[in-house]
Structure 1
């Protein structure tokens, strides 16, 4: 719950702004409706003044956490900033909209003043007639101002075919009949995303709206691209509802969950019918009827309206067909696999025979051991226990007639037979046993040698079988480009060229790669080649063809698959990207300006960041490039961006060619921890003296094969590293990563093993350096390390800002905060005070300037731009004009993210530039850099640029 003192300050300020806003709207309406003439739009100056008030309301409400009040104020601000030139009924509708939005703002503020929240403000506004009138006005005069309609477009009856179930089902089946090759790869993708939606809905308490939104967005985009508009239109409505859920404007309550579940079932049924299956209908409810009813239901929910009392029609329960992906394998390849399987069976039979020989030798050794034990026992009884022997002899003598024994011995002597005493008998027995053991040893040696040879032969056979089986799971790259070519044929302003159709790619990788390529093509069409659609003559003047060119190239080398999607458009608008990133709070203006072009280009991979002017079906939501980055990272790859102004942009997807069974090199990392590297990524193992490792710009490097490669120490990831012995060499694994060769430092080298690798679970999948898991020969679980992930992690260590560290870093520093908003001053002051700063405040530029020149020691100034008496620009000029304050750091904090606002601020001497609502981690990180506070352990924060 918010602090009462801060809440009261906000309400007081908001009430003052609201009174001025209402007065300004009334004056605008009176100005536009004067006399008997048709109504006209009010004067530009009046709209600018009211827009400023709406801007202040939006910024204050957003900073304090009242997002719906801020959004509604932002809508009013955009309507006023458009400055439309309207007359007649259009002007009257425009003025009425201004009055209704002003009234809705007043109602929301009253609710807050009464102790409530703005949670239902958007719903209340959506239930009014204002959104529909706004949509009608924008549709009627699209050139007056450009903005997105408030409600999702209702299905056009003219777009539908015959209303019966046969019409929809026939169209779905006709699509599959005409596009069999496309359907073979489109259907599994949709089924995968439908399964993801169903999984989230099965766990409503932990459902992730972002995951569901992305799945619906991908289904929509893929359906439109392959030409299945029925599925695309329905998924668009589903996406709108999930977008509202994601932005917290619609609650994920029972009606929403019911509609979402029905929508997922309908998507599943539409795919089932298209594939030739049948859905059991419930009475008179047809598939077309379910589609219309659910589309309307989704539209009402997305607009914040209450659901219709009637239940959403659903299909009767049925057994659903499993969505199993299939791969076509040539018969000749299957015959080869069967031949190898026969060889494996023969090898197993030979191993069984060798094991039977070992079992036979085990029985012989047991018999020999028993004979040896009897001989030793007899010898012990005669010589180690003589009393027992004499007793036995006496007993025998008593039982034998006198002289019988001596007569028999004399008879042997007369016959000149050899006499054997006990020592002779023992010696002869041991000799016989030695001969037996020698024979068993020879047979054992021969058998073990045979086992070793058979094991090596079986290993070669398994490796060959593994290679051929992997080849069986590979399909031509052309199977993914077929749908892309069809999509390109429907784009009048571009042509598509594909190279590398014959490159074989693992089926699982190709299916997961299709979605990112679709997003990249959409990005090229709506951003890179927008000029080709709007100004083809301008391209001709640059020496380019009037039609935009898009290229897709696929190649495989050094165990990596490389897919390039390039266009010959205007390249990335890096200034526009930096401006949008500033508005999103990714970084300050100085940080963004200091970024190199390559780093700035990667800002487009951040979720929600888009440079599109308007939001439409295929662009503007900031989802596409985010999906591409996440998909490539999930495949263990990396996305590289190359852009040149006026030449074009290329996106390179570099992916490892994964295998389920592979040879790995195990290594020791920590005292008790071990890991492994895929052998096909290891180039060399070297013991390098510490003196050969040099620091370049603070990062360790070592020379390998004539070039300097970065060194990543993997040992600290598994706990503290003990001090190495003086003069000890560094154990380095030189591995091929997606970013090039790197050297990974480990504690010790191990041996090579053939293992089965499993992908990490979703929980472990967040670890960037983990490519998979395997079980070594000792039974220990080994993490399979990704060299590129280790390099990314080393470049971005986890050093998040902690309260204790921040407080220690800010101690002894005094800041001046200048802002005309009481709530902003109090909220930002608390941020800075938690970090240990002493904060002085001023309510406008004049008061701030007086404090600066009063002799009070200040380390930095943070100022707003729009303030009464003296604005932020005037304050900047006054501070820089006097020698005693000319070097004082001045940071601008405003809701204005436009380039012209930034340029003016920096031309007047601003040190840095932020947008509201300011990110606490970002603000403290910049203060650390500006004030040189080593104690402020600020981290990149959630807005850091993806690696």
Structure 2
């Protein structure tokens, strides 16, 4: 097996061992305050035994040795639970033992050596103290530990779970045609089952496993035959244990079974029957207690030398194959389901013993019990598999790219639909023209035909134009009209049709138009089918997103499980009594979000313990119970997850916050007028602390700002509420998932913005009569509430050159709109210029040395590849309010007003200053070459150029939100000419002030006068003087700014 594969298996074991230690710790917490639960203690013993055995097989000798010592302590606790008084000291020592194992796990994960000094001074003293208090387990302890206090046969239970899982794994390997790593799998399984036999004091079973290992070493080239025979004998042993026939357990695997008939081990014949019967006739093993020796024999490579910890923990056992990597040492919690070989499924294999010397065969009993087990087996039980988190992250990233490409596909389908609709309209116009052409031709051709019929027999040369091309002399090649006329002389026009070249050409045009109509119809049908497939694709992608999101979810208990231990240690250290309550332990949270929440929640927990919860005497004096409560609650609200951490302590002293803020230099007038929420928000500022002294627990000036910063990384927010004397509540709001979000796409001041849908309560059309002014601020009346109005374009200004572009789609709402959001229990209205509706997009973080400005939390990529910033509405509102307050004060402490990263409000630039954006000019002309030539000169002059192919195209782009400084327009164009364009622009309120220069080949005064009357700003004719055009363009744009 490759070195990388070995390392991967070892890391998976260490991760699994960590979960076992978490389980052990959760049971130990509160052990001193409640009697020992036998079932929970059994779970601890199974977990610690799995870690010990697995560590030995993986080559982690120190971990196996320390786990063995901890296991001895648990054995004594289980056996003498009624005779041992568990106090806080013993509970603490047991928890410290678990901590030592955790440290060893971390060191092994990092690939480092165990420091012998740490082992002698830190780890061993803990286990020595446990040994002094509890002593060594003896044989009687082992018997008591494995006794069936509650009527449960522990041995049978382990064979139903542990052994069944191992054998099922081996069957899976044997069923694989390639049989990967079969030798390693059988060897590891023999060691694992042998260790279990020693723990259960099944000497015969342990000897059998040891014999199987010897057979593998002796004949490694016959591993498949040995594996088949071992599986059969292990199944037989399992059956015997389940029916209580421990005296008939086989002790060895006969080598001749597979040496003489390799490959036939699964079809036992008469020789096999004799062997099985012989096994039943062997001497019964003495089931006496072997004491602690039974537990020490399963790890022969246990470190004995003092310098053992300094040796690198390298595996000395062959690694497992891929299937064995998943939960190698986990106890399989499932009912017995045996896929037995023919030796067990066939009654004849065990039903033919000698009638006198052998006991009755247990096989019929085993088959009956097996059927009962199968009938009660849960048919919905599912298998699980472990995969690295990085693979989940990679899948998540790929799905994000899929979402971007899917949006791009939808955009292209929309464009194609628009093109096909345009084609259909033009085909209809062409069809109408075709009808007119046919009618006109009939009107022209019919009188001439009649003239030929009514003449005196002389046919003019022109009449020959209507003769059919197929009528000609076979022998002559002359196709002149005169010769054709002679051929049909004597026929009436009603007797023979006459066709001219014009008629043939018109017929060809008509047929082509019909063919174009058919192609257009086929395009529409194909596009309909493509739309249907795209709809199904979106539906499947949505299901994929839902399932992928569920795979990434972890319960809240994974995060808060370690909080109980931390809170217990704090209580012991500081003499407080605090109970931790968790509501919604099963609430699923994205793995990345859960990991990011770890530090913020721990900070809040420690602060609640230190600043919130009082000591028992103080609480009793205030009429409270001596034991305080900290409650963590998690619920889903739409596409967000809300977590609250509440304590019933003394709350936050607002006067203390105000005094501390004054010490740091904040203006007293500002602090006097600040609301409670604004004062509470100061605790999240860097360097702000109300602690009187610095301790290891709090008062270090860090923590709460870290909470907010960590939450900003996952687009989260935090809010605090307090009730002096009764407690404080922190509310954390985080998105349900980080990869995909539903947003509202809006525009403000020519900038596209993405607002998360979850924060928007309602959208309103901006109406001037609804706006009121109070104390210099605009407000609106919404549902009887006065809501502050913020115009985003006033704050989102750019004092640099930038290209203003817009989307091809027409806005859903093409007029100013108000977004109502809830910011810290306060409603705020944000005014935007226009909106394009809701979309599902992929969220991406912006990487670089410069952070995002205040108010933004990331970005998204639209289907056309355009990057749009993602707004954090709460942060943006806080920044705007901060700037508003700053503008009303002459001085403000720099510590608590950081506006350098945001868009700093300044006075608008004067006319002589460089414009805030590079001027955009729209060119409208039906000739692409004219547009290109004109654009070349304008771009050299520093302008940004947008193109439109006719007046209708130009109107549509302007109505979709394209912002330009001036327009250069032709007069003669299809669909909508220059005069029509002037008329449409001047009736639109938002466009009528745009300066328009007419550039045309019509130099007559009549055309010029009409254009100027309709509102043109200037008139040029082709060919034009580029210098004069640029000069005039600059002049009319300056005039427009002055106006």
- The reply to whether TM is greater than 0.5 is no
TM-score (norm 1): 0.43
Higher relative contact order (CA 8 A, sep 6+): 1
